[in-house]
Structure 1
Amino acid sequence: MSNLRTLVFFATPPHDCSYLPDREATTMFVDPRANVDKKLYSQLTALGFRRSGSHYYRPHCEHCNACVPVRLKVDQFQPDRNQRRVLRKNEDLSCRMVPAAFSERYYRLYAHYIEERHRDGDMYPPSREQFTSFLVDGATDSWFLEISLGDELAGLAAVDLLDDGLSAIYTIFAPELEDRSLGTFAVLWQIEEARRRGLPHLYLGYWIRECRKMNYKTRFKPIEALRDGHWRELQSD
């Protein structure tokens, strides 16, 4: 079994940054041959790594530290006025956690979401192989949060269970339900699930101050940022 002391890491060549224009990025990956169990995955997440399928990675850019790992302190969270409005708006939804696995039903929602909202991104065009390699492969203690409106699947959130919290991997939803703010709703649901399980944190991935798409993360407070190897409360504008 691998551990932090025996892990080998690799860095990609510099490539165009996906978030900030006119910048290059370098990504550090855990050796894909490593046997990463839940304990090691939890340790890596606390060090700022994320999971994408069977790959564990974190930014490793020579001249940029814009990508900041963030996590929410679950026991201190109180929804603000807008978040309470989102909860009220979605009282008619039903939610359940199921083991992460491929299904045609999930894929149809995924493809619809990518085609409508991310045609300009590197996930377009969607494919079943892409869905599986991104959201199913490499699952350790991994789950899908099904969000349903009646008999219809309205949203799907990939969630990993860690030793010290939940890790929010990715959320998709039916584009025609955009006014329900299902991305925010999924985070709020995961906060309550972490609280129900007695877990202290919800990991929300990376936050970039200059990236408007990530502004929503700092609306969940108190949120902590990993800087210089220490988690401290993020003071955002």
Structure 2
Amino acid sequence: MRHTLPIVPQFYVTAPQPCPYLENRMERKLFTALQGEGADQLNNALSRQGFRRSQNVLYRPSCADCAACLSARIKVSDFAANKSQRRALRRNAHLGRRATSPWATDEQYELFRRYLDIRHADGGMADMDVFEFAAMIEETPIRSRVIEYSDRKTDALAAVSLTDVLEDGLSMVYSFYEPELRSSSLGTFMILDHIEIAREAGLPYVYLGYWVPESPKMGYKARFSGLEVYVGGKWQVMKNPEDYESASHPLSTDPIAEQVANIQLPDRRAP
């Protein structure tokens, strides 16, 4: 009988580039391709180990002397909305939710451009054109959804989230919203609604991406109860955000070979 050996993912490291979160830092990522029949298994396994998806790539920060970026997720059963989050729910009660397959539209792109031009004009995605936007939305080898939030009366699109469905939760890959409605706390509302979707589906977690201590861009994530962060190879409950720091140190990150050796890959062998 002839047996086919499983294909082991190959890991690579990006060249250093300026960090988008902390000044005077250089960013580097460890990444691997997400493709083939085992894409869902690999995405599930690596998401539980702090990786994030971008199109057909899974990546995790691996900076030479900094370990500030911490993967964050909300444990649904431990979450309780605070007063300001309950206000965000009330402010956006007029919005309806619609989940679709990952397909980009002109309306989404127009909203995306307004969002970038006003909120992130100097960010790494500022020059993204309509074709690159379509690739971001549509190039997914796993189970993904586009979740749109629109005004029930006018049908005007207010917010969008590209969301992956994992074995143990929902992963908010990228979200954007109408910048003129900033006072409505749409970003917070989308997270709250994803918590509700996960609860209804019996999924234990909502993955939020990375939280970075001392980065104003990421501060909102620490305001959600039930938050867990991935530190030292395991998830731990965040008790006090001030207990974490973004100080750099030459021994902050293990050597690449050691990092790769410690990654737990899914068992793709046939039963």
TM-score surpassing 0.5? yes
Alignment-derived partner of residue 164 in structure 2 = 160
Alignment-derived partner of residue 226 in structure 1 = 230
Structure 1 stretches of 4+ moved >3 Å: 31-36
1:188 alignment partner, one of 183, 189, 192: 192
Conserved 8 A contact 2:39-2:141: no
Conserved 8 A contact 1:30-1:57: yes
Q: TM-score, normalised by structure 1?
A: 0.94
Alignment-derived partner of residue 30 in structure 2 = 28
CA distance in structure 2 between the aligned counterparts of 1:2 and 1:199, rounded to whole angstroms: 33
Conserved 8 A contact 2:72-2:207: yes
Shift in Å at residue 139 of structure 1?
A: 4.4
Judge which range, 225-234 or 118-127, deviates more. 118-127
Q: Percent identity?
A: 37
Is 1:91 aligned to 2:93, yes or no? yes
Shift in Å at residue 39 of structure 1?
A: 2.1
Paired amino acid for 1:189: D
Give CA-to-partner distance per residue, 1:34-57, whole Å, 9 cap, x none: 655222211110011101111111
Paired amino acid for 1:169: V
Conserved 8 A contact 2:35-2:56: no
Q: What 5-or-longer segments of structure 2 have no aligned partner?
A: 243-271
Equivalent residue runs for 1:106-145 within 5 Å: 106-145=108-147
CA distance in structure 2 between the aligned counterparts of 1:157 and 1:97, rounded to whole angstroms: 9
Conserved 8 A contact 1:99-1:142: yes
Return the index of the structure with the highest Cα Rg.
2
Q: TM-score, normalised by structure 2?
A: 0.83
Alignment-derived partner of residue 55 in structure 1 = 57
Report the RMSD for the aligned CA atoms in angstroms.
1.8
Q: What 5-or-longer segments of structure 1 have no aligned partner?
A: none
2:44 alignment partner, one of 42, 45, 66: 42
CA distance in structure 1 between the aligned counterparts of 2:50 and 2:5, rounded to whole angstroms: 18
CA distance in structure 2 between the aligned counterparts of 1:155 and 1:146, rounded to whole angstroms: 6
